[in-house]
Amino acid sequence: MRFLRQSLTGLFLMAVTIGLLFYAVTLVRGAVEDSLGQDNRRGQGRERVFAVSVLTAEPQTVSPTLQAYGQIESRRALVLRAAVSGPVVELADNMTEGGVVSAGQMLLRIDPVDAQAALDRAQADLQDSEAETRDADRALELAQADLTAAQEQAALRQKAFERQQGLQARGVVTDTAVETAELAAASARQSVVTRRQSLAQAEARVDKAATGLARATIARDEAQRNLDDTVLRAEFDGTLSDVSVVAGGLVSTNEQLAQLVDGQTLEVAFRVSTAQYARLLDDAGRLRPAPVEVSLDVSGIDLSTKGQLSRDSAAVAEGQSGRLIFATLDSPRGMKPGDFVTVAVEEPPLDRVVQLPSKALGSDGRVLVIGEGDRLEAMEVTLLRRQGDDVLVRARGLAGRQVVKERTPLLGAGIKVRPLNPAGAEAATDEPQTVTLSAERRAKLVAFVEANKRMPADAKERILNALKEEQVPTQMVQRLEDRMGS
């Protein structure tokens, strides 16, 4: 019995072992077949096709815009300083920070007592000089008359002497009488010399009086200017800033009191690179009066104005680069000196350029175009300008080609793609604006609208009237059916 039991146990164990071996062989065989089947399927896989957005390259003439940042400045600003010293006795009401003044308006007055006294003294000195001038002129006239009389007397004495000489030659008079007549003529000539000296002194007195009158006039004018300088007036229409004077305060000579800025004659100063500056020159090498647009972003509100280029800096400042350019503004509404603004300068137009999204241009200077069999081709282009999110490029053979709008690392030359043309997509997705409803469909919509209690009466009436028409708006039908759940 024991032998039989052991034999049966051995046979059972052998049968289990054979079954496990058979099951293992079956598993291995299935795994091998699955592996071979996957290899066969992998070899028969299809090529992956990428969907890309494209646009058609159309050459056109584009005027690029140069973007820069600058600062608003005033072309006319004046520093107000005190010409004389003294206490401020009068101050204008608008002599404050931000005060608007007009040309010729009195801003402040400095105590004029000392200046008025100096002017009175100068006027008195001027009157003395005028009186001395008149006396010198009268003395000159008298000296000229005295000289004339002396010359006439000398001429008579000379004639008397000549007559005595004639009588002496005929033996009528003695030598003593001739000598007496000669002495009288010599005395008359000496008198003429004396009168000439007096005339010269009178002329010198006139010149001295004229010099004194000129000096007195200069002193009077200077005193008048000092008196006028006690009143500070606005040179032009503008706005005051940096006001540092108060009524009753003591000011010194040449002390800065305020600054007058003309807010209507503003300009913008901005710096560009040398390459950008070269594009703004004309054929003669001068800066073109190109139009500009200046904008100031203030809390989401854009203040903008137009203008044109006026001039550039004469030299490059130390530590700076590029060129500093100035542009005049037409109507700077809301802008003030010191504002930091954005400047857009219109450059000369470029012909035969293609405007593409900046993402269409790769770092290698190439764009991807659709070739034969909808496969991508890399085309090298010349980058001319960058305009915000777009680029202006030019290349031979690019016109009319379909260009990939956005390059990704998965795209490259030779890859097959499916172009998505926005124009074609819109045409494919266009639906009729109206639709003709069947009687059953129309009845369902009318019943739904009439049963809706939350819909306003006027809207319900308008929709019901539209549903009665032969052609019903498609959007309205879709909206109602969405609400119905159909």
Domains of the chain: 73-108+242-348 (no CATH), 114-229 (1.10.287.620), 355-429 (2.40.420), 434-484 (no CATH)
pLDDT tens-digit readout, 227-241: 999 999 998 888 898
Residue 394, φ and ψ in degrees, nearest 5: -145, 135
Nearest to 323 by CA among 272, 275, 248, 375: 272
pLDDT tens-digit readout, 5-46: 777 787 778 888 888 888 888 888 877 777 776 555 554 456
pLDDT tens-digit readout, 136-167: 999 889 889 888 888 888 888 888 888 888 87
Q: What is the pTM assigned to this prediction?
A: 0.57
The secondary structure of the chain, three-state, reads CHHHHHHHHHHHHHHHHHHHHHHHHHHHHHHHHHHHHHHHHHHCCCCCCEEEEEEECCCEEECCEEEEEEEEEECCEEEEECCCCEEEEEECCCCCCCCEECCCCEEEEECCHHHHHHHHHHHHHHHHHHHHHHHHHHHHHHHHHHHHHHHHHHHHHHHHHHHHHHHHHCCCCCHHHHHHHHHHHHHHHHHHHHHHHHHHHHHHHHHHHHHHHHHHHHHHHHHHHHHHHCEEECCCCEEEECCCCCCCCEECCCCEEEEEECCCCEEEEEEECHHHHHHCECCCCCECCCEEEEEEEECCEEEEEEEEEEEECCCCCCCCCCEEEEEEECCCCCCCCCCEEEEEEECCCEEEEEEEEHHHCCCCCEEEEECHHHEEEEEECEEEEEECCEEEEECCCCCCCEEECCCCCCCCCCCEEEEECHHHHHHHHCCCCEEECCHHHHHHHHHHHHHCCCCCHHHHHHHHHHHHCCEEEHHHHHHHHHHHCC
* pLDDT higher than threshold 80 for residue 422: no
pLDDT tens-digit readout, 354-392: 999 999 998 888 999 998 888 899 999 999 888 888 999
Task: Kindly indicate the confidence band of residue 299, based on its pLDDT and cuts at 50, 70 and 90.
Answer: low
If one counts every other C-beta atom within 10 angstroms of the C-beta of residue 142, the result is 12
Lowest mean pLDDT among 101-110, 178-187, 196-205, 417-426: 417-426
If one counts every other C-beta atom within 10 angstroms of the C-beta of residue 252, the result is 10
Q: What is the pLDDT of residue 221?
A: 93
pLDDT tens-digit readout, 303-341: 888 999 999 988 888 888 889 999 999 888 778 888 899
Task: Kindly indicate the confidence band of residue 50, based on its pLDDT and cuts at 50, 70 and 90.
Answer: confident
Q: What is the pLDDT of residue 424?
A: 45
